[in-house]
Amino acid sequence: MSERAAPFYCPYCGDEDLRPSEEGHGAWECAACNRAFQLKFLGLLSRGVKQEERGGAEI
């Protein structure tokens, strides 16, 4: 089993100085803005991602 991915930057200030928090699984602390946040995977969408067709002029 592979390790879980870590966030690359803070969702509030954009800084990259993140550390795992002691609050639990998926919790992170940002040293730059002094905020704590938690990431959680909710699941896969049953409908998937669909791209809309764009009705542009043909060349």
Which H helix or E strand runs over 33? none
- pLDDT-based confidence at 36, cuts 50/70/90? very high
Residue among 12, 29, 11 at smallest CA distance from 20: 29
Residue among 37, 42, 38 at smallest CA distance from 26: 38
Residue 35 CB contacts under 8 Å (≥ 6 apart), including other chains: 10, 12, 13, 29
Query: Rounded to two decimals, what is the model's pTM?
Result: 0.64
- pLDDT-based confidence at 1, cuts 50/70/90? very low
Q: What's the pLDDT at 42? A: 84
